Structure 1
Amino acid sequence: MASTEVTHTELTALEKALCEALDPLATALRARSSGLPEDRMWAADPVEVSLSVLESWKVVDSAVARLTAQAARTAGSYGASYEQLGAAWGITRQGARKKWPDAVSRPAAVEEPARVELFGGTAELFQEQPSGRWLWTGRAADGTSGTADEALHCGTKEEAAAYAGAFLKDHRGDPAG
């Protein structure tokens, strides 16, 4: 990753732009709290004026926190890890996980495929990715091949095994067996 160090000139320009962007919000908040007309609203006790500016920065701080969390979730949705998010923010992986707990989705553990042998036939069970649903494909004793219906959504390996078992039973070849 390229260096993201901010130069003094860039930081000065950013701070100037932020102060200019903050001015309308600070003006609106100060006008509401003081009840003074716009041309006089800054003519007050310096403590009150400074507190109005501080109030405005709090609004900006909350907006930045929301936008930061959104950026972290976006990066996570594209595959960024907590380690990468932490590096970008200058904190540890654990710090990033604590700061943005929902930014990175953990993939569900992929279970190993399984095999079902019933009624003289076999079926392979496997977990589809990324959906996580279970599917099966099999060959019955009578030679018929089958697969899980595309519309079927088996949430567990056991559920897929039940459908595969029903298929193998229906195509066992020997109706007496």
Structure 2
Amino acid sequence: MTSVEITHEERAELATALLGALDPLAAAVRSRASGGLSAERMWNAEPVEVALSVLSAWKLVDAEVKRLTAVAAATAGSYGAGYEQLGAAWGITRQGARKKWPEAVSRPAARPGALELFGGTAELAEDEASGGWRWTAVGADGVTGEAPTGLRGREEAAAHAGAFLAAHAEGVGRTEGQEPTEA
């Protein structure tokens, strides 16, 4: 796989989409920072305070992009991609990919249709009646989840199951002493 380039037009469209997605998060961050002032009043502050609220929102987006990137790398690894391929897709060396996503390349699954990621397991299955795919999973934290049939293919089912397993890795999304909740 070669390096992926982005055109000027694609970059402009991406920026517009990202800014649109950031707006509600930035507003929530700003609301908390302003002590819950109304939407009209919370933006009436020193420009540096407003800019720092937006920067805080971008940090949250950055963390979520990193998490989703790890899910994508782990999904590719579960299909047999090696660190050399992951590195090529990301524009880094094989060693860099191994360091960035140390658990992305897994041993082959014990059986077809099985994923073992982030300490949890998922089963992928095709629904012959509808032609769609579904998944059932148990996260490392013990939470179970499933997707109804209708996913367009094995890859889509694996991506959704991988995201579920990442979200339910041991200790993710809960504080000490808090019991896991059903998805």
- TM-superposed CA distance for 1:5, in Å, is 1.3
Aligned residues with identical type, % of pairs = 69
**Residues 19-30 of structure 1 aligned to structure 2 (within 5 Å):** 19-30=19-30
SS of residue matched to 2:39? coil
Q: Residues 105 and 43 from structure 1, CA distance in 2 versus in 1: closer, same or farther, beyond 3 angstroms? A: same
- The structure that has the greater radius of gyration is 1
What is the aligned-residue RMSD (CA, Å)?
Answer: 1.8
Structure 1 residue runs of 5 or longer lacking an equivalent are: 108-128, 132-177
Give the TM-score taking structure 1 as reference length: 0.58
The amino acid that maps onto 1:68 is T
Checking the alignment, whether the CA contact within 8 Å between 2:86 and 2:94 is kept in structure 1 is: yes
- Alignment-derived partner of residue 110 in structure 1: none
Provide, for residues 8-46 of structure 1, a one-character-per-residue CA deviation record: whole Å limited to 9, x for no partner. 110111011101100001001101110221011111001
Alpha-carbon distance change, 25 to 47 in structure 1, aligned in 2, over 3 angstroms: same
- Residue aligning to 2:84: 83
Q: Which runs of 5+ in 2 are unaligned?
A: 112-183
| Partner Cα distance (2:110, 2:44) in 1 | 62
Report how many aligned residue pairs link the two structures. 110
Q: For 2:98 and 2:5, locate their aligned partners in 1 and report how far apart those are by CA, in whole Å.
A: 23
Cα deviation, 1:51-99, whole Å, max 9, x if unaligned, reads 0001101110111011000000000000001000000001000000000
Give the secondary structure class of the aligned counterpart of 1:39.
helix
Equivalent residue for 1:14? 14
Higher relative contact order (CA 8 A, sep 6+): 2
Q: Name the TM-score, length of structure 2 as normaliser.
A: 0.57
Q: Cα distance, 1:4 vs. partner?
A: 2.5
Amino acid corresponding to residue 71 of structure 2 in structure 1: Q
- The equivalent of 1:103 in structure 2 is 104
